[in-house]
Amino acid sequence: MQKGDRMQKKVLSVLVLWSLSVLMLSAVEHTWDGKWYVFWKQGAFVLQAQQKGVKVNGTYQPDNGTLEGTVAGKKLKGMVHFSKGSSNFVFTMSPDGNAFFGNMQNGDWIAGSRVTEGYSKAKEKLDNSLPFTTMYSFLKLGNQFRNGNYEALEPALELLYLSKEQESWFYGKRMDVIRKFFQVLDLCTIHKYDFNADSEGNRTRVRFHQAGTDKYVDIDFVKGKRASGWKIVLPGEAEIDAKLKVLLRAYGLEELDPNRNLELANPRDTMRTFIEQNERWEQGGKKHVLATLNLSAVDPSIWEWQAPLLSYYLLGVINRVSDFVYQEIPNNPKSRMPYVYFHHPLGSIVIAPYDVEGKIRWQFTPQTLEDIERLYEAMEDVPSKADTVVKSENDLYFMLKRQAKSILPLLLKKFYDTALWQIILLVLIVLLALLVSYVSKWITFALGRRFYLTKRWSEETITLRFLRPAQLIVFALILLNGAHQLGLSDFLFALIKTFSYLLIIIGTTWVLYNLIFIMFSALQIHARKTSTDVDEIIISLSSSILRIGLITASLFAIAEVLHIPYKTVLAGLGIGGLAFAIAAKDTIANFFGSAIIIADTPFKTGDRVKIGDEIGKIINVGIRSTKIRTTYDTVLTIPNNMITREMIDNYTARDAMRIDTRFLLALDTPKPMLDEIDMSVSRFLREHPEVDQTKIILTGVNDYTSKGILFELRFFVKAEDETTYSDIRHRIITDIANLIKEKGAQLVFLHFEEEESVQER
C-alpha cells in the first residue's frame, strides 16, 4: 500500500513539474525592442523601439517623433509626441511577437510589423550633384518604397524642395503627397538625355513625356541658399492630383493597381516584375519571374531546371550593364515594338510582345535566353552594380563551377557547350549510380524474403522480378538528380532526363506488375478458403484489368516523355470511333462477356461444366477468355462472348447425381412377378442411405420389345464427384440385379448392337 502511495506521489510530482514548465514557456513575452514598419490611415513610417523592463521608448522620423509607454502583458500603453502635439495609444502584440495592432486617442487604427533581420534593405546612396542624379536617386527610392521598403521615402525628403506650407504639413499628408508625386513620374518615360548637360544658374526645368500620348510633366530643379545640391521642387497638392488624373485617363485608368505590373502589359512592367520577383523567389516570386521568360525554344521537360539558371544569368547581365531606373523603360500599353535593353556582339537583351492565352504579354525573347549564358560568361568579371540573387536550385552548380575554376581554369573549357569539369563529374555520377544500384541487390533480396509468397523464390526469380527493375530505378534517380546540379547544356540534359525517365517508368511498371501478381495470388489463396462463388472470378478479372491498366498508363507515360502526340491520337478516336469499334468488336464482346459471367455467375474456378459440346474443369476466367481442362487433360480456351451464347451445364452445382439404367427381363416373366420386382426395387431405393430421397425415384416396366421386357430405373444418389458416383452406381445396380434374380426373373443379355436397337425403340 505504501509502495502504491509513493508511486502516486511520483506521478503527481511529474505532472506538477510538467505543468509548471508549460506555464513558464507560455509566460515568455516577446519584447518591443527593434525596428517596426508602422501603418496608419494616412501613410506609413518606421519606428525604432527599445524596451527596458516594462518601459518602452521609441523614435520615428521625420518629424522627430517620440514614443513612450508601459508594457502590461501583450499590451503597450503610452503616448506619442510630434511637432504638432501628442496623442495616447494602446497597442496589442500578436502571439508570435512579429506584429501589433491598436488605436490612437482619436480612434484611428494603427498597425505594425517587425522588421526581421535581413528584410530591411540597404539605404540608397543619395546623389544630388546634378538634376538627373537627383531625379534618379528619387526614383530609386520610390521604386524601393513600392517594392515594400517603407523606409525609402524618408530619405527622399532630402531630395525635395518643399515650400513653407508643405513643410508645415502633418507627416502623414506629406508622405502621401510625395507618394502621389512619384506615381506621376512613374507614368512618364524618363531618360538621362532629357536633362541639360550643363545646368547653369540655380534653377532648371525638365519636361518628361508620357509614352504613347501627348501628355507631359514639367519638373523644376533648384539649387540655392536653402538647397544643398540640386533638389526637386515638389509641386502643390492640387497640381499633383490634377496631373495624376490626366495621365491615368490617357492610359484608360482610373487608379493605379500596385500589382498591375504582373500582367506584363509593357516592357517596363516585365523588367520590374523580373527584378522585383527575383528578390521574392522563395516567397512565390518564382512563378512571376518565369512568366517574364519566353521559354518556347526550351524543351518543356527541362523548364523546371533550366528556367532558374537562365533567370540567374539574365539578372546577372542586367545588374552589370548599367545603373538604371524602371522609368527609363517605355510603358506604352499600345506599342508593339520590341524593346532592346542591351546590345552586345555576343547577344542582346530584348523584350517583345507575345500572345499568351489570348492576351498580349511582354517577355524576354527566346533569342535572349539562347544567348544569355554566353553573354553572362563574357561579362562575369565585370563588377555588378547590384547584388544578384542566387536561386537555391543553382547553389551547388555555381559552387562547383567556382571550385573547378580555382583548381584549374582549363576545366572551364567547353566541348560542344559542355565544360570539361561538367563532363568529368557526369562520368563520376554515372559510376556512382552503377555502384549504388549494384549495392541495392542485398536490400532487394532482404525485402524479397520477407513475404510469404516470395520467401521460397530462388535468387534467379527475385533477380528477374524485383532486383533488375529496382536497379534501373536507383540508377535513373541518381543520374537524374546528379545531372540536375551540373548546369548541363539543354540538349545533353534533355537527353539524360529522357533516358532517366524511361528507366524509371520501365522499372516502376516492372515492379508494380509483379506486386499485382503477388497481391492477387494471396487473394486467390484466401478466396479458395471462402464459400463465395464469385470471389475467384472477380479476383482473376481484376488482376487482368489492373495489369492492362498499368501497361496502358506506362505506354502513355513513355509517349509523354518521348513527346509522342498520343493526345491527338486519342482525340481522333472520337472521329474514328466507329472504325475502332468495328475492328475491336470481338475484344469488346469478350469484355462484356466477362462482365456477364460476373453478374450471372454460372460457374466458378474448379467447377466441372459442359459448355456446348465441351466438358471440363474451369481453371481460369480472364477478361478475354475462360480456360477449362477437358476430360482428355488438355486446356481449352473459350472466348467469353462464345460462352454467353452457349448452354452451360454446371455439373459441380448439382446437389446429387442422377442414375438412369435398365434391365431386360425375359418375355415370359409373369405380371405378378413384375409387380413384386417393382415394389422390391422401389423399397430398396427408398431405404438406401446413399439415394437422395428428396428427389424423384422412378421404377417399373417401360416397354415390351421383341427381345424382352424393358425394366427401367431413374433416381439420384448423394455424390459430388465422378469417383464417388461411379462407386455408388456400381454397388446399387449390382444389388438390384441380385434382387431381381432372387425374385426368380431371368435377365436377358444382348450384344452391343442389339442393345443400341433396344435403346432406340
Cis upstream peptide for 602 (omega within 30°):
no
Do the beta carbons of residue 312 and residue 336 sit within 8 Å?
no
Mean pLDDT, the chain, rounded, equals 80
Share of the chain above pLDDT 90, in %: 24
Residue 256 contacts by C-beta under 8 Å, 6 or more apart in sequence?
Answer: 183, 248
Do the beta carbons of residue 727 and residue 752 sit within 8 Å?
no
The predicted pLDDT at position 462 comes to 64
pLDDT 10s digits, 520-552: 676 766 666 665 555 566 666 677 778 778 888
Q: Residue 224 and residue 230: Cα distance in Å, rounded?
A: 8
- pLDDT greater than 60 at residue 576: no
The predicted pLDDT at position 199 comes to 62
pLDDT 10s digits, 160-218: 999 988 888 877 788 889 999 999 999 999 988 888 766 667 889 999 999 989 999 99
The strand pair at 231-233 and 160-161 is best described as parallel
Quote the DSSP letter at residue 300: G
- pLDDT greater than 80 at residue 579: no
Task: pLDDT band for 294, please (50, 70, 90 cuts).
Answer: very high
The predicted pLDDT at position 68 comes to 93
Share of the chain above pLDDT 70, in %: 78
pLDDT 10s digits, 309-351: 888 889 989 988 888 899 999 998 888 999 999 999 888 999 9
The predicted pLDDT at position 139 comes to 93
Q: Mean pLDDT check: name the lowest of 51-55, 380-384, 402-406.
A: 402-406
**Taking the mean position of all CA atoms in its chain, how far away is CA 191?**
46
Do the beta carbons of residue 384 and residue 458 sit within 8 Å?
no
| Amino acid letter, residue 201 | G
The predicted pLDDT at position 190 comes to 92
Cell numbers describing residue 445 = 533480396
The predicted pLDDT at position 570 comes to 56
Select the more confidently predicted residue: 177 or 84.
177
The predicted pLDDT at position 34 comes to 87
**Most confident of the ranges 1-15, 291-305, 331-345, 544-558:** 331-345
pLDDT 10s digits, 111-122: 888 876 544 444
Cell numbers describing residue 362 = 511582354
- pLDDT greater than 50 at residue 638: yes
Do the beta carbons of residue 711 and residue 663 sit within 8 Å?
yes
Mean pLDDT across 77-105: 87
pLDDT 10s digits, 705-748: 888 899 999 999 988 777 888 999 999 999 999 998 888 888 88
Do the beta carbons of residue 540 and residue 622 sit within 8 Å?
yes
Mean pLDDT across 28-49: 79
- Name the strand (E) or helix (H) holding 316: helix 303-321
Q: Residue 61 and residue 33: Cα distance in Å, rounded?
A: 17
Quote the DSSP letter at residue 30: -
Residue 4 contacts by C-beta under 8 Å, 6 or more apart in sequence?
Answer: none
In the beta sheet, which residues pair with residue 636?
A: 628
Cell numbers describing residue 612 = 456446348
- pLDDT greater than 50 at residue 514: yes
What does each C-alpha distance from 176 to 45, 238, 689 come to in angstroms?
A: 11, 13, 109
The predicted pLDDT at position 62 comes to 58
Do the beta carbons of residue 203 and residue 218 sit within 8 Å?
no
Cell numbers describing residue 548 = 492492362
Residue 318 contacts by C-beta under 8 Å, 6 or more apart in sequence?
Answer: 271, 275, 341, 342, 349
What phi and psi values does residue 181 have, to the nearest 5 degrees?
-65, -40
Residue 579 contacts by C-beta under 8 Å, 6 or more apart in sequence?
Answer: none
pLDDT 10s digits, 647-701: 777 777 777 888 999 898 988 889 989 899 999 999 999 999 999 888 889 999 8
Q: Residue 653 and residue 720: Cα distance in Å, rounded?
A: 9
- pLDDT greater than 90 at residue 498: no
| Amino acid letter, residue 414 | K
Domain with residues 657-760, CATH architecture: 2-Layer Sandwich (3.30)
Task: pLDDT band for 22, please (50, 70, 90 cuts).
Answer: very low
pLDDT 10s digits, 123-148: 557 888 889 899 999 999 998 888 87
